Structures are given as C-alpha cells and as structure tokens.
Amino acid sequence: MSDNLLSIKNISKEFYGNRVLKDINMEIKKGEIHALIGENGAGKSTLMNILFGMPMIHETGGYQGSIELEGKEVLFASPHEAMAHGIGMVHQEFMLIPGFTITENIKINRELTNPNLVSKIFGRQYEGLDMKKMNSDARKALDIMSMGIEEYTQVAGLPVGHMQFIEIAREIDKTGIKLLVFDEPTAVLTESETQNLLAAIEKLAAQGIGIIFISHRLEEIMQVSHRVTILRDGEHVVTKDTKDTNVYEIAELMVGRKVSLDRTNSTSRRISDETVLSIKNLEVKMPGEEVKGFNLEVKKGEIIGIGGLAGQGKIGVANGIMGIFPARGQVIFESSPLELNNPRGAIAAGLSFLSEDRKGVGLLLDESIELNTVFTSMQIHKEFLHNIGFVRVMDSRKIRNHTNKMIKDLDIRCTSSLQHAGSLSGGNQQKVCMARALTQKPKLLLVSEPTRGIDIGAKKLILDLLKKLNEEQGMTIVMTSSELAELRSICDRIVIVCDGKVEGILSPDASNAEFGLMMSGTRADSQLGGAE
C-alpha cells in the first residue's frame, strides 16, 4: 500500500470556535526530507503540536482526522508517547543544561544504569550510572553529526551552532527514532554552521529517518528538501516535488490569498515630503526579534507598515525606539536626535506606543480602566493632577470624565470606568491601550500587532480608527503587523524586515510573489530550482 512513514489525513483543529486547520493532508516517506512552509499563523505550529501529542491540543478539544505511523493509526496523548513511537523534535529554543556535559545533556532522563543490591530493593532510581557506556553512546551520536568535540565537555560556553547539533544528537540517540521535526533550525546559525546542519540532515535522511523541515528560507528548502508542502491560513495549498518548483512560485503560493479587507483610497490622506522620523542603523536586542541594522525615513502624515515573518525583527523596531529593549543607532524625530534606551524621553518627545504585548507591557491588569488610560500622561506630561504645594495628588473627577469620554469614543464595552482591565475582552483591552496612547496626544503613533487575537468585527473597528486618526488629525502612524492583509488595507507603504534588516519597501498593491520573496529573504533575481 503505502511506503509512507507518516500519513497525516484530513487533520482539522478548532480553537474556541476559530478554525486554525482545515483538512490537512501530508505524507512523509522513509528517508524523505519534506519541507513545510507557511506564513505566520498558517498553522504549522499547531500541526506539529498535534503530531507531538502536546497537552494543549487535548485540553482544547482535540482534533479531527487521523495520523498514521508506518501504516498504523496512532493517537498520541503526550509528547512522551510520541517520543516512545520514534518521533523527535528539535526545537528553536535550546533545552540544554549549561552546567552539564554533552553526554549528560544527551542522556538526560535516559541515563544508562547498572542494577545493584539497593536498587533491587528500593527501585530503579538507585541503579548506578554507567558513565562509560553513556559517553560512548554520545560519541556515536556526535560522530554521525561529524562533530569532533569531546563528549565530556561542558555545554556552557559552547557556540550556538554546537548547541544546535547537541540537540539533534540527543534526538538521534533515542533508540528507534523514525521521524525528526526541525523547527526553523537555521535561524540562529552562521552560513557555515547552516551548511553543516544541512549536510547532517541529509546524512540522517540517508539512514532512513524521515525529516520534516520547517523553514522560511527558500534557498535552503530548494537545496535540501525532496518535497515541499505549503500551508496558508490553515489550509493545505499544495505539495510539490522540489525539483518541479522554484522560489518564486513558492513565495507566491505562500502569500497569495483573496484580500478580504478592502482598501479604500482616501482622498483626504495628506502625506508631506517632510521626514518626521529618521532611523539609521538601528540595532535592538529583543529576544527572538533582533534588529541588526534597520534604516528608514518616515514621512509626516503617512501610515507606514512594517511586515515580515515571525522572528525576523519587525517587532523589535518599535520596541527599540521606545526604549523597551536595549538599542543602539541613530533616531531623529522632528529634526532633533532622540535618545535611545530612554522610554521617558521618547514619550516626552511626542511618540506613543501600543505594544504587541497587550497584557504584559500594555496594561495594569489589576487596576481600573481609568488608571490605565491616564497613567502615562499623568506620569510624563503631569496631567490629571491637583497641585497642592509640592504634592501632586490625582484629580479623580478629571480622570473620570476623560475616561468616560474615551469609553464612549472608542466604544469600550465595560461595566464602568472602574472595571479592572484584566476582566475585559481582548478587543476591549486593546481599546484601553489605544485610549492610553491617545490620551498622550502623540505626534507619532507606533502600533504593534493592533488586531492580534481580536475577532473580525473589532478588527475592522480598530483599523478604521487608525485610518480616522490619520485622516482627521494628520497623525503619522507606524504600524507593525504579522498580517500582511491588514497592512495592505491601510498602509501607504510597507517595509519588509528580514534577518533584522530592511529587505525592501513595497507598495500595498505589489504582487504576492514579491511580498513572499522579500519576506523569505530570497533575492528575486536568483531564480533557484527548476522550472521558470
């Protein structure tokens, strides 16, 4: 019948009414390197979580469809079960203990032991460790990866590339490994380390291990994979043999969709020639979203979008300018240099930030809507206060009135201005964040992921609000978002960030393929792969 190692049949998944996966079908053969590609939110992580038996899948209603391993249907109730059946996953974040040796990390919780008198009475935990045998097993695994390093070296201080390999060594040391999933493995590697990794993956595949290779780096996919599956918005777009396609096609299929949000070209958009915000060589150390040299000139009165794939750095830009994460570079706002690493300075200069981390950075969940709304203006612009001598006490009446106005203007659904922010719905929380940003009467608004986790109705409301602010008050807006569609619906220009740098700037009506190629960092002129 099938010589398929793994068959994913008609997998569907719903999260609280939201359909995130629709009828996914995928097949991996023994020894095949199968690439899985898709934008943010395409469903890749959810699919892998299902494959791996993660508890959060079962806790949210399970899934529909079936998974077959070597022809037999399987249902994993936990990662442990998946591992026992020979499925391994090499994560993006390294799960290595720095204080342990390579051997100890490879063998963690699977140590080889010898029984002794005590263990016969009290149990397996008292068996003695057989370090010699463990070291030789580790040596074998490392040799497969062509790693020359000694197995009893401590992990702390090893370069990142080595750590990645040790992660892999740990998986292949597990007996009976049949399928390995790699989740963006080259994201943190240098050029040469990447090549080493790809070579190792090919070596593993040659031994009959099936590989699922998740990556957005189209050149790597072209280089090493046998087949490629593209997911988009939870649906299976296509599976093709790699030799039958090229980066251009993949990029287009990855991005292309019917644009559900209409773009109304407004005539009242006034974009001047004047540069209001100039960013040069911005570097930001935001874990997971590092910026490595960002340059941009923002024109006064425009809505400019910053897009790109997850982890490429687009989120880091605004966070760096507003001093939330350490940053370096030159930023000039309204012709004066803006000091970096200084949130107070940025706010005082007239910049306001709506963070993507609504509940973390954006709100005081245990405090009232009114406190959340006026907090920043109170602290930086010293508003909403009674001045009594040298003491500044909050002006409750003013705060109440202002908040109620905001609640009306933004249509915030709440019991009163005293309701705790933590008990509001996602959309209303976002509106409170918006209220706080607007209370500061900013000259330039930075918005990150404005409609993340919000239902369709509220999404439109917020985007309309941003448009209104821009059109009626001429506010310059810098909008960062993972959803290309919403960027294309209201932005005047869209900057694509890849690898922490500006990959290019596109007009909202540029082709899907152009967006796809830019987001994956592929040079459009280097047409790799077969058909044209």
Among 214, 98, 216, residue whose Cα is nearest residue 158:
98
Question: In the complex with other proteins, which residue's Cβ is closer, 270 or 392?
Answer: 392
Strand-by-strand arrangement of the 336-338 sheet: 336-338, 327-333, 275-284, 291-299, 501-506, 493-498, 303-307, 476-480, 444-448, 351-354
Asked if 379 is part of the footprint of other proteins (rule: CB under 8 A), the reply reads yes
Residue 72: Cβ-neighbour burial (10 angstroms; 0-12, 13-18, 19+): exposed
The residue within the footprint of other proteins, chosen from 157, 176, 192, 336 (CB under 8 A), is 192
Stretch that binds other proteins, among 14-22, 140-148, 186-194, 296-304 (CB under 8 A): 186-194
The residue within the footprint of other proteins, chosen from 7, 10, 49, 119 (CB under 8 A), is 119
The residue within the footprint of other proteins, chosen from 391, 408, 457, 532 (CB under 8 A), is 391
Asked if 393 is part of the footprint of other proteins (rule: CB under 8 A), the reply reads yes
Mapping DSSP to helix (H, G, I), strand (E, B) and coil, where does residue 251 land? helix
Asked if 367 is part of the footprint of other proteins (rule: CB under 8 A), the reply reads yes
What's the CA gap between 355 and 170, in Å, rounded? 38
Among 355, 318, 357, residue whose Cα is nearest residue 338:
318
Question: In the complex with other proteins, which residue's Cβ is closer, 389 or 457?
Answer: 389
Asked if 111 is part of the footprint of other proteins (rule: CB under 8 A), the reply reads yes
- 10 Å Cβ neighbour count for 350? 16
Question: In the complex with other proteins, which residue's Cβ is closer, 94 or 259?
Answer: 94
Mapping DSSP to helix (H, G, I), strand (E, B) and coil, where does residue 276 land? strand
The residue within the footprint of other proteins, chosen from 271, 365, 505, 528 (CB under 8 A), is 365
- What's the helix, strand, coil split of the chain in %, to 5? 35, 25, 35
Q: Are 500 and 312 in contact (CB under 8 A)?
A: yes
What's the CA gap between 323 and 281, in Å, rounded? 15
Asked if 283 is part of the footprint of other proteins (rule: CB under 8 A), the reply reads yes
Restricted to residues 67-106, the positions that interact with other proteins (CB under 8 A) are 79-80, 95-100, 104
Number of residues that bind other proteins (CB under 8 A): 65
Asked if 127 is part of the footprint of other proteins (rule: CB under 8 A), the reply reads yes
Asked if 385 is part of the footprint of other proteins (rule: CB under 8 A), the reply reads yes
Asked if 378 is part of the footprint of other proteins (rule: CB under 8 A), the reply reads yes
Q: How far is the CB of 69 from other proteins (least distance, A)?
A: 20
Reported as type and span, the H/E element at residue 137 is helix 131-144
Q: How far is the CB of 109 from other proteins (least distance, A)?
A: 4
Asked if 392 is part of the footprint of other proteins (rule: CB under 8 A), the reply reads yes
Binding string, residues 448-487; x marks residues near other proteins by CB under 8 A: ----------------------------------------
What's the CA gap between 188 and 183, in Å, rounded? 12
What's the CA gap between 141 and 84, in Å, rounded? 18
Question: In the complex with other proteins, which residue's Cβ is closer, 80 or 413?
Answer: 80
Question: In the complex with other proteins, which residue's Cβ is closer, 130 or 471?
Answer: 130
Backbone angles phi, psi at 231, to 5 degrees: -110, 145
The residue within the footprint of other proteins, chosen from 109, 260, 336, 526 (CB under 8 A), is 109
Restricted to residues 27-66, the positions that interact with other proteins (CB under 8 A) are none
Q: How far is the CB of 445 from other proteins (least distance, A)?
A: 15
Backbone angles phi, psi at 74, to 5 degrees: -130, 150
- Calculate ∠ Cα 95-101-106, nearest 5°: 50
Mapping DSSP to helix (H, G, I), strand (E, B) and coil, where does residue 211 land? strand
Q: How far is the CB of 324 from other proteins (least distance, A)?
A: 5
Binding string, residues 334-363; x marks residues near other proteins by CB under 8 A: --------xxxxxxx----x-x-x--xxxx
DSSP state of 361: I
Interface residues with other proteins (CB under 8 A) are: 79-80, 95-100, 104, 108-109, 111, 113, 119, 124-129, 190-192, 283, 285, 287, 292-293, 322-328, 342-348, 353, 355, 357, 360-367, 371, 375-376, 378-380, 382, 385, 391-394
